[in-house]
């Protein structure tokens, strides 16, 4: 007990004495104008020499000390950069370090903060995915990303170079139920000077049972010169398509248009190339069974 008592008295005696020491302080920047962004963090510390008693020193040794620089009151804006000088620190000595702490010196005596005007830019999100469906199942509509674009905020020199943001690779196999998954975005490296409105997006899709259908569609001719009479065959072609079961009965032949463009015929060519010019949005994988339409010139 006597030993513990003596040790306690020794500690309090030591801590009550004044000491002079130099510590490295980080910079806490506040009230930076929102339209500007500080570019350089190379001068992100100051060597500060203080004189105070031991009790005050304890808080500096048990935490990372920082000095706050208020860009409203403590810096000057000259020639496109903010300038801070140590003379400002002496004005706010008590508020920065508290009572009974004497500020002796600061190195360096000046800090320069280069800045750029922020650019707010909206860029699309690109899905990087490999999704395979169980046979007989497919998406009812396209994938939906929420949000499908994000805002990039930062210096014009940096933000202007970003044209899109990709998602992390998303892989699903044997899918037969609706999709609803959060996917992280691949943000540019070394983006400390950029702000992104989102770190991830939600991928969603309605998955339904699908089936294949076939319809006979008449072939029409376009761009046939006036006065020229053609005979062509076949005049009807089979069109196959893929659609959900609940929409199968709503798909009709007049939803499709198949035509041949006579202006695409080359010399001595005796056939036309049929093309699907119209198909309903509710079907997928539309294909023609006929690759050529034979024709002869009657007149």
Q: Residues 251, 198: one domain?
A: no
Bridge partner list, 83: 76, 112
What CATH number is given to the structural domain containing 217?
2.170.120.30
Structural element, H or E, at residue 158: helix 156-159
Instruction: Indicate the residue among 108, 126, 159 that finishes a domain.
Output: 108
User: Between 54-61 and 2-16, two packed helices, what is the crossing angle to 10 degrees?
Assistant: 90
Instruction: Indicate the residue among 163, 179, 205 that finishes a domain.
Output: 205
Strands 110-126 and 165-167 turn out to be parallel
Print the domain residue range for 152: 118-205
Task: For residue 225, give both structure tokens.
Answer: 């010169």
Q: Residues 128, 70: one domain?
A: no
Could you give the C-alpha distances from 270 to 42, 136, 172, 222, 266, in angstroms and in order? 75, 40, 47, 16, 9
The DSSP letter of residue 226 is T
Instruction: Indicate the residue among 174, 205, 236 that finishes a domain.
Output: 205
Determine the pLDDT at residue 226: 85
Cα 174 to Cα 165: distance, rounded to the nearest angstrom: 27
- For residues 243 and 283, the answer to whether their CB atoms sit within 8 Å is yes
Q: Indicate whether 134 belongs to any domain.
A: yes
Q: Residues 95, 134: one domain?
A: no
Q: Indicate whether 113 belongs to any domain.
A: no
What CATH number is given to the structural domain containing 190?
2.170.120.40
Q: Indicate whether 12 belongs to any domain.
A: yes
- For residues 100 and 18, the answer to whether their CB atoms sit within 8 Å is no
Q: Indicate whether 272 belongs to any domain.
A: yes
Q: Residues 20, 93: one domain?
A: yes
Q: Residues 154, 97: one domain?
A: no
Q: Which residues contact 269 (CB under 8 A, 6 or more apart)?
A: none
For each of the chain's 299 residues, which pLDDT tens digit applies? 767 655 555 555 554 567 677 878 888 888 888 777 777 655 578 888 877 765 666 676 767 778 888 888 888 888 778 888 877 777 666 666 766 777 778 888 888 888 877 888 899 999 999 999 999 999 988 889 999 999 998 888 788 889 999 999 999 999 999 999 999 999 987 777 788 999 999 999 999 999 999 999 999 999 988 888 889 999 999 999 999 999 999 999 999 999 999 988 888 888 999 999 999 988 999 999 889 999 888 86
Cα-based torsion angle of the residue sequence 84, 89, 91, 96 in order, rounded to the nearest 10 degrees? 130
Query: How many domains would you assign to the chain?
Result: 3
- For residues 45 and 25, the answer to whether their CB atoms sit within 8 Å is yes
Q: Indicate whether 27 belongs to any domain.
A: yes
């Amino acid at each position: 007990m006597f030993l513990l008592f003596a040790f306690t008295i020794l500690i309090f005696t030591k801590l009550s004495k004044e000491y002079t020491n130099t510590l490295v302080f980080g910079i806490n920047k506040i009230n930076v104008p929102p339209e500007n962004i500080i570019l350089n963090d190379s001068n992100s510390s100051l060597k500060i020499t203080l004189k105070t008693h031991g009790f005050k020193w304890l808080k500096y040794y048990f935490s990372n000390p920082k000095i706050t620089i208020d860009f409203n009151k403590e810096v000057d804006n000259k020639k496109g950069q903010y300038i801070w000088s140590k003379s400002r620190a002496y004005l706010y000595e008590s508020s920065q370090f508290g009572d009974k702490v004497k500020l002796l010196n600061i190195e360096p005596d000046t800090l320069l903060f280069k800045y750029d005007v922020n650019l707010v830019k909206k860029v699309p999100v690109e899905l990087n995915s490999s999704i395979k469906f169980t046979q007989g199942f497919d998406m009812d509509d396209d994938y939906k990303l929420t949000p499908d674009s994000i805002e990039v905020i930062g210096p014009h020199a940096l933000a202007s170079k970003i044209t899109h943001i990709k998602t992390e690779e998303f892989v699903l196999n044997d899918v037969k139920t609706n999709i609803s998954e959060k996917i992280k975005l691949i943000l540019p490296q070394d983006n400390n000077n950029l702000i992104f409105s989102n770190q991830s997006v939600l991928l969603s899709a309605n998955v339904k049972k699908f089936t294949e259908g076939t319809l006979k569609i008449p072939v029409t001719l376009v761009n046939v010169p006036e006065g020229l009479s053609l005979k062509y065959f076949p005049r009807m072609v089979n069109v196959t398509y893929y659609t959900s079961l609940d929409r199968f009965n709503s798909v009709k032949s007049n939803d499709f248009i198949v035509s041949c463009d006579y202006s695409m015929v080359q010399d001595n060519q005796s056939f036309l190339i049929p093309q699907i010019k119209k198909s309903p949005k509710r079907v997928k994988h539309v294909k023609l069974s006929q690759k050529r339409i034979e024709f002869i010139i009657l007149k």
